[in-house]
A = this chain, B = another copy of it.
């Protein structure tokens, strides 16, 4: 857990520096910072950094990619909360972006975050990442935005995050693919736990509107297999996730194992 706390701190610092509050577009920058620095769990960037380190890369090499990961995530959160999408008022215990800045600014903010994410990743070449690897990582990251991502969007897809980290970290094809499998497991696990929390916790405990899935009539895991079976399924996914990481250096793999434990045990 100390690893995670430290990583989250480094990520928050890098994100803070990535969007300085200055002209031009001060209002957009304010809005970007509002969502980007609103204290998310930083699971995605952490996963990216840990994947990079697992294959022998440095934290600093993957930091721009980790920031890009969080920017793309923030962009999707802003969009998801829009009145024409989920129409949500609360996110991470605070009013959603469009409630504060208005829908027009929110739409522009989401774009600006995507553009900044691509820019950040492209800048990785200055850290010694070969351009073909940077391109490959950008492709992985934008997949979640694409047609395929929208359909598979039911389960939180964390594969891009892990894979992009492993790519910029210099991982082999086999290492990258094993991390993809691991990340798919914890992504699915994240979704199962999210569905369970949605029906078992209050809005206050979650920091976002609880019971939404029920109201929306969404087919969730608890609805499909009940709360207890869902929890068992999440545990099973945790075991499978660990299996994909067998054979990696035991010290470097520790953060990814505890990240999986954290996801399966999280309470909000």
Q: Given that A122-B138, A138-B122 are contacting pairs, would A115 and B146 also be in contact in the complex, using a CB cutoff of 8 Å?
A: yes
Once the chains bind, are B115 and A143 in contact (CB under 8 Å)?
Answer: yes
Once the chains bind, are B125 and A142 in contact (CB under 8 Å)?
Answer: no
Bound complex: CA A103 to CA B85 (Å): 8
Q: Given that A119-B139, A135-B131 are contacting pairs, would A146 and B104 also be in contact in the complex, using a CB cutoff of 8 Å?
A: no
Interfacial chain B residues near A84, Cβ < 8 Å: 102-104, 106-107
Q: Does A148 contact B (CB under 8 A)?
A: yes
Interfacial chain B residues near A146, Cβ < 8 Å: 111-112, 115-116, 119
Interfacial chain B residues near A69, Cβ < 8 Å: none
Cβ of A63 to closest chain B Cβ, rounded Å:
18
Bound complex: CA A208 to CA B151 (Å): 32
The stretch among A22-30, A48-56, A180-188, A251-259 that forms the contact with chain B is A22-30
Interfacial chain B residues near A139, Cβ < 8 Å: 118-119, 122
Q: Does A192 contact B (CB under 8 A)?
A: no
Q: Does A243 contact B (CB under 8 A)?
A: no
Once the chains bind, are B115 and A24 in contact (CB under 8 Å)?
Answer: no
Bound complex: CA A161 to CA B135 (Å): 19
- 17 A-B contact pairs sorted by A residue (CB < 8 Å): A24-B148, A24-B152, A25-B147, A25-B150, A84-B103, A108-B150, A111-B146, A111-B150, A112-B145, A114-B114, A115-B145, A115-B146, A118-B118, A118-B139, A130-B131, A131-B131, A131-B132
A residues adjacent to B (C-beta < 8 A): 24-25, 28-29, 79, 82, 84-85, 102-104, 106-108, 111-112, 114-116, 118-119, 122, 125, 130-132, 134-135, 138-139, 142-143, 145-152
